[in-house]
Structure 1
Amino acid sequence: MSQPLKIALILAFSALPLLEIGLLIRLGQLIGIWWLATIIIGTAILGTYVIRQVGLSVFEKALSRLGSDREGFSPLFDGFLQVLAGLLLIFPGVISDMFGLVLLVPQVRNVVIRTGLLKLVTLFHYQAEVSRETFRAKDDVPPSDGDGIVIEGEYERVSERPLRPGKAVQPRRWRS
Protein backbone atom coordinates (compact mmCIF):
# COMPACT_ATOMS: atom_id res chain seq x y z
CA MET A 1 0.00 0.00 0.00
CA SER A 2 1.35 3.41 -0.87
CA GLN A 3 1.99 6.06 1.75
CA PRO A 4 -0.72 8.54 0.56
CA LEU A 5 -3.30 5.72 0.57
CA LYS A 6 -2.37 4.78 4.13
CA ILE A 7 -2.71 8.39 5.25
CA ALA A 8 -6.10 8.68 3.51
CA LEU A 9 -7.34 5.52 5.25
CA ILE A 10 -6.17 6.78 8.64
CA LEU A 11 -7.94 10.11 8.09
CA ALA A 12 -11.13 8.35 6.93
CA PHE A 13 -11.20 6.12 10.00
CA SER A 14 -10.50 9.12 12.22
CA ALA A 15 -13.32 11.12 10.66
CA LEU A 16 -15.85 8.28 10.88
CA PRO A 17 -16.75 8.81 14.58
CA LEU A 18 -17.23 12.53 13.96
CA LEU A 19 -19.54 11.79 11.02
CA GLU A 20 -21.46 9.28 13.12
CA ILE A 21 -22.00 11.80 15.93
CA GLY A 22 -23.04 14.52 13.49
CA LEU A 23 -25.53 12.24 11.75
CA LEU A 24 -26.97 11.04 15.06
CA ILE A 25 -27.52 14.65 16.17
CA ARG A 26 -29.12 15.59 12.85
CA LEU A 27 -31.31 12.47 12.78
CA GLY A 28 -32.36 13.12 16.39
CA GLN A 29 -33.48 16.61 15.37
CA LEU A 30 -35.46 15.25 12.41
CA ILE A 31 -37.26 12.24 13.90
CA GLY A 32 -37.01 12.90 17.63
CA ILE A 33 -34.87 11.51 20.40
CA TRP A 34 -37.22 8.65 21.30
CA TRP A 35 -37.40 7.29 17.76
CA LEU A 36 -33.64 7.60 17.47
CA ALA A 37 -33.15 5.74 20.75
CA THR A 38 -35.55 3.03 19.54
CA ILE A 39 -33.57 2.62 16.30
CA ILE A 40 -30.23 2.47 18.12
CA ILE A 41 -31.46 -0.07 20.68
CA GLY A 42 -33.21 -2.12 17.96
CA THR A 43 -30.12 -2.37 15.80
CA ALA A 44 -28.02 -3.26 18.86
CA ILE A 45 -30.44 -6.09 19.70
CA LEU A 46 -30.36 -7.26 16.07
CA GLY A 47 -26.55 -7.20 16.09
CA THR A 48 -26.42 -9.18 19.32
CA TYR A 49 -28.85 -11.74 17.86
CA VAL A 50 -26.76 -12.12 14.70
CA ILE A 51 -23.55 -12.61 16.67
CA ARG A 52 -25.16 -15.16 19.00
CA GLN A 53 -26.61 -17.13 16.08
CA VAL A 54 -23.55 -17.07 13.85
CA GLY A 55 -20.59 -16.52 16.17
CA LEU A 56 -19.94 -19.96 17.62
CA SER A 57 -21.10 -21.83 14.54
CA VAL A 58 -18.45 -20.04 12.45
CA PHE A 59 -15.65 -21.50 14.54
CA GLU A 60 -17.25 -24.96 14.58
CA LYS A 61 -17.63 -24.89 10.78
CA ALA A 62 -14.06 -23.68 10.35
CA LEU A 63 -12.66 -26.51 12.46
CA SER A 64 -14.76 -29.15 10.73
CA ARG A 65 -13.91 -27.85 7.24
CA LEU A 66 -10.21 -27.72 7.97
CA GLY A 67 -10.33 -31.33 9.11
CA SER A 68 -12.55 -32.91 6.48
CA ASP A 69 -13.67 -31.40 3.20
CA ARG A 70 -11.63 -28.84 1.30
CA GLU A 71 -14.31 -26.42 0.17
CA GLY A 72 -12.08 -23.43 0.72
CA PHE A 73 -12.37 -20.46 2.97
CA SER A 74 -15.49 -18.81 1.55
CA PRO A 75 -17.89 -20.28 4.18
CA LEU A 76 -15.49 -19.14 6.88
CA PHE A 77 -15.35 -15.62 5.45
CA ASP A 78 -19.13 -15.61 5.06
CA GLY A 79 -19.48 -16.27 8.78
CA PHE A 80 -16.82 -13.69 9.55
CA LEU A 81 -18.75 -11.09 7.52
CA GLN A 82 -21.94 -11.96 9.41
CA VAL A 83 -20.17 -11.46 12.73
CA LEU A 84 -18.73 -8.18 11.42
CA ALA A 85 -22.26 -7.12 10.42
CA GLY A 86 -23.45 -7.88 13.95
CA LEU A 87 -20.63 -5.82 15.46
CA LEU A 88 -21.41 -2.91 13.16
CA LEU A 89 -25.06 -3.09 14.21
CA ILE A 90 -24.13 -3.02 17.89
CA PHE A 91 -22.11 0.19 17.55
CA PRO A 92 -24.37 3.25 17.79
CA GLY A 93 -24.34 5.20 14.56
CA VAL A 94 -26.15 5.50 11.28
CA ILE A 95 -23.23 4.73 8.98
CA SER A 96 -22.15 1.59 10.85
CA ASP A 97 -25.77 0.41 11.02
CA MET A 98 -26.15 0.83 7.25
CA PHE A 99 -22.95 -1.13 6.58
CA GLY A 100 -24.10 -3.81 9.03
CA LEU A 101 -27.53 -4.13 7.43
CA VAL A 102 -25.99 -4.31 3.95
CA LEU A 103 -23.61 -7.08 5.07
CA LEU A 104 -26.56 -9.14 6.30
CA VAL A 105 -27.71 -9.60 2.68
CA PRO A 106 -26.24 -12.93 1.42
CA GLN A 107 -25.72 -11.70 -2.16
CA VAL A 108 -23.67 -8.74 -0.92
CA ARG A 109 -21.54 -11.04 1.21
CA ASN A 110 -20.93 -13.30 -1.81
CA VAL A 111 -19.80 -10.33 -3.91
CA VAL A 112 -17.53 -9.11 -1.11
CA ILE A 113 -16.03 -12.58 -0.74
CA ARG A 114 -15.46 -13.02 -4.48
CA THR A 115 -13.93 -9.59 -5.06
CA GLY A 116 -12.33 -8.86 -1.70
CA LEU A 117 -10.94 -12.30 -0.93
CA LEU A 118 -8.67 -12.35 -3.97
CA LYS A 119 -7.36 -8.87 -3.18
CA LEU A 120 -6.84 -9.82 0.46
CA VAL A 121 -4.88 -12.94 -0.43
CA THR A 122 -2.67 -11.09 -2.89
CA LEU A 123 -2.10 -8.28 -0.37
CA PHE A 124 -1.02 -10.72 2.35
CA HIS A 125 1.16 -12.61 -0.11
CA TYR A 126 2.82 -9.35 -1.16
CA GLN A 127 3.26 -8.25 2.46
CA ALA A 128 4.81 -11.63 3.35
CA GLU A 129 7.28 -11.38 0.47
CA VAL A 130 8.19 -7.80 1.39
CA SER A 131 8.72 -8.65 5.06
CA ARG A 132 10.77 -11.70 4.20
CA GLU A 133 13.06 -9.55 2.05
CA THR A 134 13.20 -6.81 4.69
CA PHE A 135 14.74 -9.05 7.33
CA ARG A 136 17.27 -10.67 5.03
CA ALA A 137 20.59 -8.88 4.83
CA LYS A 138 21.77 -8.07 1.31
CA ASP A 139 25.20 -9.65 1.78
CA ASP A 140 23.74 -12.65 3.65
CA VAL A 141 23.73 -15.22 0.85
CA PRO A 142 23.12 -18.81 1.84
CA PRO A 143 26.07 -21.08 1.04
CA SER A 144 25.76 -23.12 -2.10
CA ASP A 145 26.40 -26.81 -1.55
CA GLY A 146 26.30 -27.81 -5.20
CA ASP A 147 23.53 -30.37 -4.70
CA GLY A 148 20.74 -27.83 -5.03
CA ILE A 149 17.83 -27.31 -2.68
CA VAL A 150 16.99 -30.17 -0.35
CA ILE A 151 13.35 -30.54 0.61
CA GLU A 152 12.68 -32.92 3.46
CA GLY A 153 9.35 -34.65 3.82
CA GLU A 154 7.43 -37.87 4.12
CA TYR A 155 5.55 -39.76 1.47
CA GLU A 156 3.35 -42.77 1.15
CA ARG A 157 2.92 -44.89 -1.93
CA VAL A 158 -0.72 -45.26 -2.78
CA SER A 159 -0.18 -48.83 -3.99
CA GLU A 160 1.12 -49.80 -0.52
CA ARG A 161 -1.90 -48.67 1.45
CA PRO A 162 -3.63 -51.45 3.40
CA LEU A 163 -6.82 -52.68 1.82
CA ARG A 164 -8.40 -53.48 5.16
CA PRO A 165 -7.85 -51.64 8.44
CA GLY A 166 -5.44 -53.41 10.75
CA LYS A 167 -3.83 -55.39 7.93
CA ALA A 168 -0.14 -54.60 7.54
CA VAL A 169 1.34 -53.94 4.14
CA GLN A 170 4.38 -55.90 3.19
CA PRO A 171 7.13 -53.88 1.52
CA ARG A 172 7.81 -54.77 -2.08
CA ARG A 173 10.70 -57.06 -2.73
CA TRP A 174 12.78 -56.19 -5.72
CA ARG A 175 13.98 -58.93 -7.95
CA SER A 176 17.68 -59.02 -8.45
Structure 2
Amino acid sequence: MSTTRRPRTRWVLLFFFVLLPLAELFVVIQVGQEIGAWWTIALLVLGSVVGSSLIRHAGARAWGALRTAVETGQVPGREVSDQALVLIGGALIVFPGFLTDALGVLLVLPFTRPLFRRLVSGLVASQLVVISTSTQRRPGPGSEGSVVRGEVVDDD
Protein backbone atom coordinates (compact mmCIF):
# COMPACT_ATOMS: atom_id res chain seq x y z
CA MET A 1 0.00 0.00 0.00
CA SER A 2 1.10 3.52 -0.54
CA THR A 3 2.31 5.83 2.19
CA THR A 4 -0.50 8.32 1.48
CA ARG A 5 -3.02 5.96 3.06
CA ARG A 6 -1.48 5.95 6.53
CA PRO A 7 -2.48 9.51 7.50
CA ARG A 8 -6.07 8.76 6.48
CA THR A 9 -6.03 5.62 8.62
CA ARG A 10 -4.81 7.67 11.58
CA TRP A 11 -7.66 10.14 11.14
CA VAL A 12 -10.21 7.33 10.91
CA LEU A 13 -8.84 5.71 14.07
CA LEU A 14 -8.78 9.07 15.85
CA PHE A 15 -12.39 9.63 14.87
CA PHE A 16 -13.69 6.20 15.95
CA PHE A 17 -11.69 5.82 19.15
CA VAL A 18 -11.48 9.41 20.43
CA LEU A 19 -13.85 11.88 18.79
CA LEU A 20 -16.92 9.67 18.41
CA PRO A 21 -16.87 8.44 22.05
CA LEU A 22 -16.43 12.02 23.26
CA ALA A 23 -19.31 13.20 21.08
CA GLU A 24 -21.48 10.29 22.28
CA LEU A 25 -20.69 11.14 25.89
CA PHE A 26 -21.54 14.79 25.31
CA VAL A 27 -24.88 13.91 23.67
CA VAL A 28 -25.78 11.39 26.39
CA ILE A 29 -25.07 14.02 29.09
CA GLN A 30 -27.16 16.61 27.24
CA VAL A 31 -30.06 14.19 26.80
CA GLY A 32 -29.75 13.15 30.44
CA GLN A 33 -29.99 16.76 31.55
CA GLU A 34 -33.11 17.29 29.44
CA ILE A 35 -35.11 14.13 30.17
CA GLY A 36 -33.41 12.75 33.27
CA ALA A 37 -30.90 10.01 33.92
CA TRP A 38 -33.40 7.11 34.19
CA TRP A 39 -35.14 7.93 30.90
CA THR A 40 -31.77 8.29 29.19
CA ILE A 41 -30.67 4.88 30.47
CA ALA A 42 -34.01 3.40 29.42
CA LEU A 43 -33.58 4.78 25.88
CA LEU A 44 -30.04 3.39 25.65
CA VAL A 45 -31.20 -0.05 26.84
CA LEU A 46 -34.15 0.03 24.42
CA GLY A 47 -31.73 0.84 21.60
CA SER A 48 -29.60 -2.16 22.51
CA VAL A 49 -32.63 -4.47 22.55
CA VAL A 50 -33.89 -3.17 19.20
CA GLY A 51 -30.41 -3.43 17.69
CA SER A 52 -29.90 -7.01 18.82
CA SER A 53 -33.31 -7.96 17.42
CA LEU A 54 -32.41 -6.33 14.08
CA ILE A 55 -29.10 -8.19 13.98
CA ARG A 56 -30.80 -11.52 14.63
CA HIS A 57 -33.48 -10.91 11.99
CA ALA A 58 -31.13 -9.47 9.35
CA GLY A 59 -28.57 -12.21 9.90
CA ALA A 60 -31.18 -14.88 9.25
CA ARG A 61 -32.42 -13.07 6.14
CA ALA A 62 -28.90 -12.51 4.80
CA TRP A 63 -28.06 -16.17 5.29
CA GLY A 64 -31.29 -17.18 3.56
CA ALA A 65 -30.65 -14.82 0.63
CA LEU A 66 -27.11 -16.12 0.27
CA ARG A 67 -28.25 -19.74 0.41
CA THR A 68 -31.01 -19.12 -2.16
CA ALA A 69 -28.63 -17.33 -4.52
CA VAL A 70 -26.06 -20.12 -4.29
CA GLU A 71 -28.71 -22.82 -4.81
CA THR A 72 -30.09 -21.08 -7.90
CA GLY A 73 -26.63 -20.29 -9.29
CA GLN A 74 -27.07 -16.52 -9.09
CA VAL A 75 -24.60 -14.00 -7.80
CA PRO A 76 -25.83 -12.68 -4.44
CA GLY A 77 -25.93 -8.97 -5.02
CA ARG A 78 -28.28 -6.33 -3.76
CA GLU A 79 -30.14 -8.51 -1.27
CA VAL A 80 -27.03 -9.60 0.55
CA SER A 81 -25.54 -6.09 0.55
CA ASP A 82 -28.81 -4.72 1.94
CA GLN A 83 -28.81 -7.30 4.70
CA ALA A 84 -25.16 -6.54 5.45
CA LEU A 85 -26.06 -2.87 5.85
CA VAL A 86 -28.92 -3.86 8.17
CA LEU A 87 -26.49 -5.98 10.20
CA ILE A 88 -24.07 -3.06 10.48
CA GLY A 89 -26.94 -0.73 11.36
CA GLY A 90 -28.15 -3.14 14.03
CA ALA A 91 -24.63 -3.36 15.46
CA LEU A 92 -24.45 0.44 15.62
CA ILE A 93 -27.80 0.55 17.40
CA VAL A 94 -26.56 -2.00 19.96
CA PHE A 95 -23.67 0.27 20.96
CA PRO A 96 -24.71 2.70 23.67
CA GLY A 97 -25.09 6.20 22.33
CA PHE A 98 -27.51 8.30 20.39
CA LEU A 99 -25.23 9.25 17.48
CA THR A 100 -24.46 5.63 16.60
CA ASP A 101 -28.17 4.84 17.05
CA ALA A 102 -29.07 7.56 14.54
CA LEU A 103 -26.55 6.27 11.98
CA GLY A 104 -27.72 2.70 12.60
CA VAL A 105 -31.35 3.67 12.00
CA LEU A 106 -30.35 5.36 8.72
CA LEU A 107 -28.65 2.14 7.61
CA VAL A 108 -31.70 0.06 8.54
CA LEU A 109 -34.42 2.17 6.92
CA PRO A 110 -35.31 0.87 3.44
CA PHE A 111 -35.55 4.34 1.86
CA THR A 112 -32.10 5.51 3.05
CA ARG A 113 -30.29 2.20 2.55
CA PRO A 114 -29.77 2.65 -1.25
CA LEU A 115 -27.78 5.82 -0.56
CA PHE A 116 -25.46 3.95 1.79
CA ARG A 117 -25.27 1.00 -0.63
CA ARG A 118 -24.01 3.34 -3.36
CA LEU A 119 -21.59 4.99 -0.94
CA VAL A 120 -20.15 1.68 0.23
CA SER A 121 -19.90 0.27 -3.30
CA GLY A 122 -18.09 3.45 -4.39
CA LEU A 123 -15.62 3.13 -1.51
CA VAL A 124 -15.02 -0.53 -2.27
CA ALA A 125 -14.55 0.21 -5.97
CA SER A 126 -12.03 2.96 -5.20
CA GLN A 127 -10.09 0.56 -2.97
CA LEU A 128 -10.06 -2.06 -5.71
CA VAL A 129 -8.64 0.48 -8.13
CA VAL A 130 -5.94 1.45 -5.62
CA ILE A 131 -5.06 -2.19 -5.02
CA SER A 132 -4.97 -3.05 -8.71
CA THR A 133 -2.76 -0.06 -9.57
CA SER A 134 -0.38 -0.86 -6.74
CA THR A 135 0.03 -4.45 -7.96
CA GLN A 136 1.02 -3.20 -11.42
CA ARG A 137 4.11 -1.49 -9.99
CA ARG A 138 5.91 -4.67 -9.00
CA PRO A 139 9.44 -5.03 -10.30
CA GLY A 140 9.83 -7.45 -13.15
CA PRO A 141 10.08 -7.69 -16.89
CA GLY A 142 8.25 -4.89 -18.63
CA SER A 143 7.80 -2.68 -15.56
CA GLU A 144 9.75 0.24 -14.15
CA GLY A 145 11.64 -1.99 -11.71
CA SER A 146 14.90 -3.75 -12.45
CA VAL A 147 15.36 -7.49 -12.64
CA VAL A 148 18.45 -9.07 -11.14
CA ARG A 149 19.30 -12.33 -12.82
CA GLY A 150 21.21 -14.87 -10.79
CA GLU A 151 21.92 -18.50 -10.15
CA VAL A 152 21.10 -20.57 -7.08
CA VAL A 153 24.13 -22.43 -5.76
CA ASP A 154 23.53 -25.33 -3.37
CA ASP A 155 26.44 -25.89 -0.94
CA ASP A 156 25.31 -29.32 0.25
TM-score category, normalised to shorter length: 0.7 to 0.9
Q: Which has more helix, going by share of residues?
A: 2
Count of aligned pairs between the two proteins: 140
Which one of the candidate residues 139, 153, 161 is aligned to 2:146? 139
Matched, 1:104 2:108: yes
Which one of the candidate residues 10, 13, 19 is aligned to 1:10? 13
Task: Deviation per CA, 1:25-45: give whole Å up to 9, x if none.
Answer: 221122101110110111111
Counterparts of 2:137 and 2:13, CA distance in 1:
24
Q: Which amino acid aligns with 2:11?
A: A
In the alignment, structure 1 segments of 5+ residues that lack a partner are: 142-176
TM-score (ref. length: structure 1): 0.68
Which stretch shows the higher mean deviation, 88-97 or 56-65? 56-65
1:117 aligns with: 121
**Percent identity over the alignment?**
23
RMSD: 2.4
Task: Deviation per CA, 1:127-154: give whole Å up to 9, x if none.
Answer: 2441x3466563349xxxxxxxxxxxxx
TM-score (ref. length: structure 2): 0.76
* CA drift at 1:4: 4.2
* CA drift at 1:77: 0.9
In structure 2, do the counterparts of structure 1 residues 121 and 65 end up closer, same or farther at CA, with 3 Å as the change threshold?
Answer: farther
* CA drift at 1:123: 1.4
Counterparts of 2:77 and 2:125, CA distance in 1:
11
Task: Deviation per CA, 1:59-83: give whole Å up to 9, x if none.
Answer: 2312331442535522111000001
2:99 aligns with: 95
Matched, 1:27 2:31: yes
Q: Which amino acid aligns with 2:45?
A: I
Matches within 5 A, 1:24-173: 24-70=28-74, 72-130=76-134, 132-133=135-136, 136=139, 138-140=145-147
Q: Which structure's CA Rg is the greater one? A: 1
Counterparts of 1:140 and 1:47, CA distance in 2:
55
